[in-house]
Amino acid sequence: MTSRTRELLDQVVSDLDRALGDDALAGMTDDERIAVIAAAGAVLRRAEAVVVEALATADAADLPHAAGCRSQNELLQRALAVDASAATRIGRVVGLVRRDVNLLSGERMPARWPALRDAFIDGRVGIAGMLAATAPVEKAWERLSADERAGADECLAQAARGRGGRDADGPGSETGERGDAGGEGDDTASSADDGPVPSPDDLAYLAHALVAVLDPDGADPDDRNAQHRRGITLGRLRHGLRPIRGWLSPEVAAQLETVIDAITNPTGAGSASRVAFLPRDPDPFDSDPFNSDPRAVIDARTAMQKRHDAFAAVLAIAARHKDMPTLGGAAPTLVVTVDARDLEEGAGWATLPGAHGDSHGQIPVGVAAQVGCSGTIQRVTMDAGRIVGIDSTDRVFTVHQRRAIVARDKECLIPGCHVPASWCEIHHVTEHARGGPTHTDNGVPLCWWHHRSLDHSGWEIRMHSGVPQVRGPAWWDPEQRWRTPRLSVPPRLSAPRPFARAC
């Protein structure tokens, strides 16, 4: 005989079938779609509560066997058509809300998380929210008193109901008791003052904050263990890349994120360093037709690729910093070995130290050209394996030259790229091998990525009377004209401000 609960659920399924039928969802407005998605979220949370409560009120050992399954996890996988990971998550919540039966009285005892269980049954929090809210406290469970656990439960349940901050007396006070939060059968109190449903991330943030207050010394053992696990490993070169793996301490990771964010975050449209272009008849009050997009969307790199390139810039800055320890009496120096003929012809391979793997450290000769552009080339002449001559060519821009170029160009020369010039590599516009001098009239700042990709990106650079000019790819500038970057002119100025002064 079908139970009343089964009949109700069958009716819900029937109603959802009607909602999905006849393309009813296809003709809705955006506001209607958002309302439907929110309502579906409420249905989903209650459906999760039905599954969890059905398991939590059953015999955990006998139910799977009665269904012909080895375990509760297998039962969930088969009955719900979910994978093992999803079944495990459901099983964890079952353990959090299960109310065992008192063997003497036969009554059900409180759940491990009674207040959160009530919010879960009421549809105020789902499985993801339950796990996010309870996980931080569960890790510190043994170090907390019973009152602290109950207080955390009440506080998290209040937040799940959208009542965070209303309880001035704190968890466990009279206003925070179950009766005010909405008890079983108390439909009027359960939702009268409920706010928006918080996300699992919101609950996790609150849970971590509670643990920090209730268990201030609890992080020390984790920190000591983390210090043992910290480390970075560089893998072997494979398919042109070397993997980096490891664990960073929180403060080191935060510092790295801050630096990378500073490099990858584009300058806002109101910044004085935004790149624009001089029109044929410059007028400081006219909008720039060649840079009208305030977002400067010309960068096709993914977020991961941008972080990699920012990390490359960080390493380059650190290597030339005055406080960097020396290696062999000199600043840490990247040594790239390449045959002189290959470098001149632009074909062949170069070799990096330490990059063993399927290509034994071999990289395209273009990488060597990039490194040599902003470094020193040392020519080693050998005869039958014997070194017969050594000479060096100074290609490094001096500190004073670099400062002058930074003052002139402000940022990476490629339009739309706002990496500060002080973080960039200095590129020889005319290659040193072809007679280009190491002089401010032949040097421009390029970020690591644009320097690396200059030969095949479609961007071209030249110097015109000591002033840099760029010509972009056809998709960006159909006219393919050489254009002179300048600083945008604030509307309050009556005359355009020159981009560079004579050095």
Instruction: Return d(Cα 294, Cα 236) in angstroms, integer.
Output: 42
Helix extents (H) in 374-440: 399-409
Model pLDDT, residue 230: 77
Tell me the pLDDT tens digit for each residue of 143-174.
899 999 999 999 999 999 987 644 434 444 44
Tell me the pLDDT tens digit for each residue of 272-296.
344 445 555 444 444 444 444 444 4
Average pLDDT for 302-322: 75
Domain boundary among 176, 192, 214: 214
Closest CA to 416 of 281, 288, 283: 288
Closest CA to 179 of 109, 123, 115, 133: 115
Where residue 245 falls among pLDDT bands split at 50, 70, 90? confident
Q: Could you give the 3-state DSSP secondary structure of residue 349?
A: strand
Is residue 191 domain-shared with residue 122, that is, in the same domain?
yes
Rounded mean pLDDT of the chain?
Answer: 74
Is residue 58 domain-shared with residue 163, that is, in the same domain?
yes
Where residue 383 falls among pLDDT bands split at 50, 70, 90? low
438, 375 contact by CB (below 8 A): no
Model pLDDT, residue 389: 60
Model pLDDT, residue 304: 81
User: For the chain, what percent of residues have pLDDT higher than 70?
Assistant: 63
Average pLDDT for 257-279: 55
Instruction: Return d(Cα 286, Cα 415) in angstroms, integer.
Output: 19
Structure token digits, residue 254: 């935060």
Is residue 289 domain-shared with residue 195, that is, in the same domain?
no
Does residue 469 form part of some domain? Answer: yes
Instruction: Return d(Cα 499, Cα 503) in angstroms, integer.
Output: 12
Q: Is 1's pLDDT higher than 60?
A: no
Is residue 202 domain-shared with residue 271, that is, in the same domain?
no
Model pLDDT, residue 259: 74
Identify the helix (H) or strand (E) that includes residue 351.
strand 349-351
Where residue 398 falls among pLDDT bands split at 50, 70, 90? confident
Model pLDDT, residue 285: 43
Where residue 198 falls among pLDDT bands split at 50, 70, 90? confident
Is residue 198 domain-shared with residue 280, that is, in the same domain?
no
The better pLDDT of the pair 85, 254 is held by: 85
Q: Which domain holds residue 181?
A: 4-214
Model pLDDT, residue 273: 40
Average pLDDT for 433-441: 79
User: For the chain, what percent of residues have pLDDT higher than 90?
Assistant: 23
Model pLDDT, residue 370: 53
Is residue 149 domain-shared with residue 58, that is, in the same domain?
yes
Does residue 500 form part of some domain? Answer: no
Does residue 227 form part of some domain? Answer: no
Angle at 224 between CA 219 and CA 225, to 5 degrees: 100
Where residue 495 falls among pLDDT bands split at 50, 70, 90? very low
Q: Is 221's pLDDT higher than 90?
A: no
Residue entry with tokens 């960006």: 476
User: Which of 51-55, 476-480, 482-486 shows the lowest mean pLDDT across its residues?
Assistant: 482-486
- The one-letter code for the residue type at 160 is A
Residue 328 DSSP code: T
Does residue 255 form part of some domain? Answer: no
Model pLDDT, residue 184: 43
Is residue 283 domain-shared with residue 193, that is, in the same domain?
no
Instruction: Return d(Cα 163, Cα 148) in angstroms, integer.
Output: 19
182, 160 contact by CB (below 8 A): no
Does residue 254 form part of some domain? Answer: no
Model pLDDT, residue 358: 44
User: Which of 23-37, 69-83, 317-331, 412-426 shows the lowest mean pLDDT across its residues?
Assistant: 317-331
Where residue 133 falls among pLDDT bands split at 50, 70, 90? very high
Model pLDDT, residue 92: 94
Q: What is the dihedral of CA 364, 368, 371, 377, to 10 degrees?
A: 180
Does residue 222 form part of some domain? Answer: no
Is residue 454 domain-shared with residue 320, that is, in the same domain?
yes
Is residue 50 domain-shared with residue 168, that is, in the same domain?
yes
The better pLDDT of the pair 259, 71 is held by: 71
Is residue 463 domain-shared with residue 405, that is, in the same domain?
yes
User: Which of 16-20, 336-340, 451-455, 487-491 shows the lowest mean pLDDT across its residues?
Assistant: 487-491
pTM of the full structure:
0.52
Q: Is 98's pLDDT higher than 50?
A: yes
Q: Is 235's pLDDT higher than 70?
A: yes
Where residue 45 falls among pLDDT bands split at 50, 70, 90? very high
Model pLDDT, residue 52: 95
In total, how many domains does the chain have? 2
Model pLDDT, residue 187: 41
The better pLDDT of the pair 337, 113 is held by: 113
Identify the helix (H) or strand (E) that includes residue 443.
strand 443-446
Is residue 203 domain-shared with residue 308, that is, in the same domain?
no
Does residue 386 form part of some domain? Answer: yes
Closest CA to 159 of 212, 116, 192: 116
Does residue 183 form part of some domain? Answer: yes
Is residue 207 domain-shared with residue 311, that is, in the same domain?
no
